[in-house]
Chains A and B, each alone.
Chain A
Amino acid sequence: MSDKTLYSYTGLFDTPDEIIKAANQVAKDGYKKFDVHTPYPVHGMDKAMKLGSSPLGYVALVLGLGGALLALGIIYFMVVVDYPVIIGGKPYFAFPAFVPILFEVTVLLASVGTVAAMLFFLFKFPNNAHPLHDTDYLKATSCDKYGISIQAEDAKFDEAGISGYFESLGAKSITPIYLDNEEINTKHKVLEPKFIGFLVVVFIIVSGATYISLNKLMIIPPFSWMMEQEKVVPQESFSVFKNERGMQQPVQGTVARGLIPYAFKGKPEEAGKFLVNPLVPTKDILAEGKNKFEVFCSPCHGNLGEGDSRLRGHFPNPPSLHSEKVRQWTDGRIYHVITDGQNVMPGYTSQMTREERWATVLYIRALQRSQNAKESDLL
């Protein structure tokens, strides 16, 4: 026996009350290096063992604050320094918008970091052997007994008297626990080559698998079928055509489906002469024209077309649509302004369909009549 090294003496108890009392006594007698093992958490044990509060709270606090600062730094670098984009008219450094992300990162770092700190610093991971493992003592305390183990390292530990001490506590079965040879002089293994090697292997496997699946696997059939589809995508070469371009000009003399080219580009007078409004002013069409006018035209021309822009000087105020000139214009002439633009006013071909443009013209006609009503217009 004596050639083995003593780790601790253990004693078993039958009830939670007894173990609390015993733990209380052991702590009171000045023992520091002892531990209690119970089948389930026993309330009041922290107090009985005179345990201080866990350092993990501070780890969580520091990591949480660190997480918040880190996230703030990253966001700041990304959206203010490296790639500033105005989003929603907000300043680059739009703090309220960052808060949800700051919050998330704070929680993430605090929780993951706390668990990691617990594993590596308190549980000494990757060490996984403990002298108490596989002892009858631990088997009993994970079943229906409550035990105390006082370590031989403790300053007050006295091998001769310890059995008697346990008896005085009222312990039932008192056993010494010896260290296995491999458990002697175990250091924390975090920096051991084996463990670091293990981490390196894990790193290589994970990153290798990611690399292969994204860069190699995707171009091997059948995984490649998704990428290599029988169609021409923009900017691609295509051997069927003589010039080998995927994107071709329309054939001479044809137009794309649904496209009707505008024949009077830059020719307002001719447009006024030859274009005829295909629509008749029904209630629906006027309603449609009103809608489009208020969406597209009123910001500059005002709701009644009087040129009282709502843009408050951010754009040159347009002339009134009720001028003698515009009232004399044909529908086609007004249509031309909407389609082709006029000086600083842009054209609206891409925003409004032809029908919508003609409907807007009809609505302008209605507006003009409303502002210059004749007696015959009254019912």
Chain B
Amino acid sequence: MSEVKVDYTKKEFPPILSKVGLILTLVGLVLVVLAYSVDHTRSAFNNLILLMFLTSIGLGSLFLVALEYVMGNVWSVPFRRIVEFLGAVLLILPLVFIPIYFNLHDLFHWTHQEAVEADKILKGKAPYLNEQFFIIRAVVFFGLWILFYLFIQRNSQKQDETVDQKLTTRNIRISAFFMPIFALSLTFAAIDWMMSLEPHWFSTIFGVYYFSGTVLTALAAATFLIIYLNEKGYLLKNLVSDHYYSLGALMFAFTNFWAYIAFSQFLLIWYANMPEETFFFINRMEGNWVYVSIALIFVRFAIPYFALLSQPSKMDPKRLKFVSLWILFAHMVDLYWLIMPTFSKDSFVFGWIELAFPILAYGILILVFSIKAKNKNLVPIGDPKLIRGINFRL
């Protein structure tokens, strides 16, 4: 096979992207402020969805980058930079968390001292579920994530100039350290911020559930950007359907993984039929919540599954772009399904407030990405594995 040269020229980043991002963010911010002044409890719950969504993208992206280093993947090297830039969303997370901090009492039942006093179970959980420790944990999570993000991406970008292989070695070490920390922090973040909404409920698979959605969503965001930028000619010219296929296959795999985990959680709780566990599902199967639950099966699983089932569809850029946008939407639905029943048990609510936060979410995503990517190489041109990554064939 003929040798492929790295044929990359840095281009002016599309200004339209940052403009769209800025407008969406501003509109979103105005709406969110409005929403808080109208109904701050409902807004706080939506804020939580926003937080979990952005955490998924930021942390999931960082995980994908770390995974590439640890496993020595070559196929994903040509577009690793895109995923790195998406990880920058982690820097915004503390800001998104601030409104939640000020509305803890609206969100979390266990923050009410008198409720805990009257409740034996909550009292038992109090050493873990108390406000101080909760905040400390959140700060530690944010700190760790941002720290690892900064280290990994600094090394990666330094390599563009120095072409120093040692930087790869260093990043492999950092990534290996990151893996267990990622697993634990993601699990506990999911427990703290979502599972503790129903402080009596527990599911040991909950962290994995959030993990499956997280990786899937990060993959989807990355896939969309990669294909979009590649079609506009911002990436390398030698990307082929084999690269696309790998992205499509991974999205397909994680769609299945999500279904597997979600079903496992449901099956065990349904079968054991213990009241202290089943009420989580009963809440979601009564009233018109049941429609959301059924829709979730299709939105999150069936549609992306059949959209990606056949081999050609995993390489078709149009199909991939559609499915990745769909998955971003589906993750929102999933988070809505996980979080909102605590706010309105009897029937689901949907109004402009539920739209304001997603607008802000996409605004932040696009804005952060375009600020990060401006004037930077979109391809890790100094990476020793780049040529092999370009030559990658299935």
Chain A residues in the interface with B (C-beta under 8 A): 16-17, 43-44, 53, 57, 88-90, 96-97, 99-100
User: Which stretch (B22-30, B265-273, B355-363) binds chain A?
Assistant: B265-273
Identify which of residues 223-253 in chain B touch chain A, using a CB-to-CB cut-off of 8 Å: none
Tell me the smallest distance from the CB of B294 to a CB of chain A, in Å: 13
Cα–Cα distance between A96 and B1 once the two chains are bound (Å)? 51
Instruction: List the A residue with the shortest CB-CB distance to B242.
Output: A43
Cα–Cα distance between A57 and B311 once the two chains are bound (Å)? 9
Instruction: List the B residue with the shortest CB-CB distance to A89.
Output: B273
Chain A residue numbers with a CB within 8 Å of B267 are 96-97, 99-100
Query: B270 near A96 (CB under 8 angstroms)?
Result: yes
Q: Within 8 Å of chain A (Cβ to Cβ): is B128? A: no
Cβ proximity bits B377-394 to A, threshold 8 Å, 1 near / 0 not = 000000000000000011
Q: A43-B1, A90-B271, A97-B271 are in contact. List 5 more A-B contacts (CB 8 A).
A: A17-B2, A53-B311, A89-B273, A96-B270, A96-B271
Given contacts A43-B393, A53-B312, A57-B310, contact A88 B263 (CB under 8 A): no
Given contacts A57-B310, A57-B311, A96-B270, contact A16 B1 (CB under 8 A): yes
Chain B residue numbers with a CB within 8 Å of A89 are 273
Given contacts A16-B1, A57-B310, contact A99 B263 (CB under 8 A): yes
Tell me the smallest distance from the CB of B388 to a CB of chain A, in Å: 15
Chain A residue numbers with a CB within 8 Å of B394 are 43
Cα–Cα distance between A16 and B394 once the two chains are bound (Å)? 16
Cα–Cα distance between A100 and B273 once the two chains are bound (Å)? 18
Query: B273 near A88 (CB under 8 angstroms)?
Result: yes
Cα–Cα distance between A270 and B373 once the two chains are bound (Å)? 94
- 10 tightest A-B CB contacts, nearest first: A43-B393, A96-B267, A96-B270, A88-B271, A97-B271, A99-B263, A89-B273, A96-B266, A88-B273, A57-B310
Cα–Cα distance between A44 and B2 once the two chains are bound (Å)? 14
Tell me the smallest distance from the CB of A99 to a CB of chain B, in Å: 7
| Tier of interface size on chain B | 10 to 19
Chain A residue numbers with a CB within 8 Å of B266 are 96
Chain A residue numbers with a CB within 8 Å of B273 are 88-89
Most-contacted residue by chain B among A57, A96, A97 (CB, 10 A): A96
Can you report 10 A-B residue pairs in the complex whose CB atoms are below 8 A from each other?
A: A17-B1, A89-B273, A96-B263, A96-B266, A96-B267, A96-B270, A96-B271, A97-B271, A99-B263, A100-B267
Cα–Cα distance between A100 and B312 once the two chains are bound (Å)? 28
Tell me the smallest distance from the CB of A87 to a CB of chain B, in Å: 9
Tell me the smallest distance from the CB of B233 to a CB of chain A, in Å: 23
Cα–Cα distance between A99 and B297 once the two chains are bound (Å)? 14
Cβ proximity bits B1-23 to A, threshold 8 Å, 1 near / 0 not = 11000000000000000000000
Instruction: List the A residue with the shortest CB-CB distance to B309.
Output: A61
Chain B residue numbers with a CB within 8 Å of A100 are 267
Tell me the smallest distance from the CB of B60 to a CB of chain A, in Å: 27
Tell me the smallest distance from the CB of A5 to a CB of chain B, in Å: 38
Chain B residue numbers with a CB within 8 Å of A96 are 263, 266-267, 270-271
Tell me the smallest distance from the CB of B74 to a CB of chain A, in Å: 15
Cα–Cα distance between A17 and B2 once the two chains are bound (Å)? 9
Tell me the smallest distance from the CB of A102 to a CB of chain B, in Å: 11
Tell me the smallest distance from the CB of A88 to a CB of chain B, in Å: 6
Identify which of residues 258-283 in chain B touch chain A, using a CB-to-CB cut-off of 8 Å: 263, 266-267, 270-271, 273
Cα–Cα distance between A43 and B2 once the two chains are bound (Å)? 13
Chain B residue numbers with a CB within 8 Å of A43 are 1, 393-394
Cα–Cα distance between A43 and B394 once the two chains are bound (Å)? 8
Cα–Cα distance between A99 and B259 once the two chains are bound (Å)? 12
Chain B residue numbers with a CB within 8 Å of A90 are 271
Instruction: List the B residue with the shortest CB-CB distance to A15.
Output: B1
Chain B residue numbers with a CB within 8 Å of A97 are 267, 271
Cα–Cα distance between A96 and B273 once the two chains are bound (Å)? 13
Cα–Cα distance between A345 and B211 once the two chains are bound (Å)? 53
Chain A residue numbers with a CB within 8 Å of B393 are 43-44
Chain A residue numbers with a CB within 8 Å of B1 are 16-17, 43
Tell me the smallest distance from the CB of A41 to a CB of chain B, in Å: 10
Cα–Cα distance between A43 and B242 once the two chains are bound (Å)? 11
Cα–Cα distance between A96 and B297 once the two chains are bound (Å)? 13
Cα–Cα distance between A88 and B271 once the two chains are bound (Å)? 8
Cα–Cα distance between A167 and B33 once the two chains are bound (Å)? 77
Cα–Cα distance between A100 and B270 once the two chains are bound (Å)? 14
Chain B residue numbers with a CB within 8 Å of A44 are 393
Tell me the smallest distance from the CB of A138 to a CB of chain B, in Å: 25
Cα–Cα distance between A63 and B115 once the two chains are bound (Å)? 56
Chain B residue numbers with a CB within 8 Å of A99 are 263, 267
Tell me the smallest distance from the CB of A289 to a CB of chain B, in Å: 23
Cα–Cα distance between A96 and B270 once the two chains are bound (Å)? 8
Chain A residue numbers with a CB within 8 Å of B312 are 53
Cα–Cα distance between A88 and B268 once the two chains are bound (Å)? 12
Instruction: List the A residue with the shortest CB-CB distance to B263.
Output: A99
Cα–Cα distance between A145 and B36 once the two chains are bound (Å)? 73
Instruction: List the A residue with the shortest CB-CB distance to B393.
Output: A43
Instruction: List the A residue with the shortest CB-CB distance to B266.
Output: A96
Tell me the smallest distance from the CB of A60 to a CB of chain B, in Å: 11
Chain A residue numbers with a CB within 8 Å of B311 are 53, 57
Chain A residue numbers with a CB within 8 Å of B310 are 57
Tell me the smallest distance from the CB of A374 to a CB of chain B, in Å: 31
Cα–Cα distance between A44 and B393 once the two chains are bound (Å)? 9
Tell me the smallest distance from the CB of A149 to a CB of chain B, in Å: 24
Chain B residue numbers with a CB within 8 Å of A57 are 310-311
Cα–Cα distance between A99 and B312 once the two chains are bound (Å)? 28
Tell me the smallest distance from the CB of A75 to a CB of chain B, in Å: 15
Chain B residue numbers with a CB within 8 Å of A17 are 1-2
Tell me the smallest distance from the CB of A323 to a CB of chain B, in Å: 31
